[in-house]
Amino acid sequence: MTLSTAKQQRPAFTLIEVIISVVIISVVILSLMEISSRSKENAVYLSQRNRASFADSFYLLDESSKYHKKEKNAYELLQPYFHLTDDKSREILKTISREIIVPEPIDIPSPDDTTVKAEARKVILKDQYSSSYFQFKLNAF
């Protein structure tokens, strides 16, 4: 066996094998980048949705039913309950706005008509992240 024959028989990667491995690695890296991007988008969405849900709590007062099909900002709803002297707080509350929709309440009768009767009211808040909430009220014992 000559020296040139030994070099030819040595195992090595061919050009096709190298190209295929580079393509496979590229596909894996692109997939990981897409997953990372989706995770970031989901985190941003959840963060914004949680902020909106927190702001929705301003609209869940008992008096919200009188604002059916009206758009109100949080300052208008909270002003009777809180005396805000800070202008920055007022301006922030004025930027939080929702359209309030309150359909007719649903009476929930007791099974034997002698015990507690209840009322369920749905409150729909419309904005970029619309939400629905239910309020329950006991009418009589």
In this prediction, residue 141 carries a pLDDT of 59
pLDDT tens-digit readout, 114-137: 677 788 888 888 888 888 888 888
Tokens of 15: 């050009």
The pTM of the full predicted model, rounded to 2 decimals, is 0.59
For the CA atoms of 81, 82, 88, 90, the dihedral, rounded to the nearest 10 degrees, stands at 20
Can you tell me whether residue 136 is helix, strand or coil? strand
Return the domain boundaries, the chain: 15-140
Kindly state the helix (H) or strand (E) to which residue 53 belongs, with its residue range.
Answer: helix 15-56
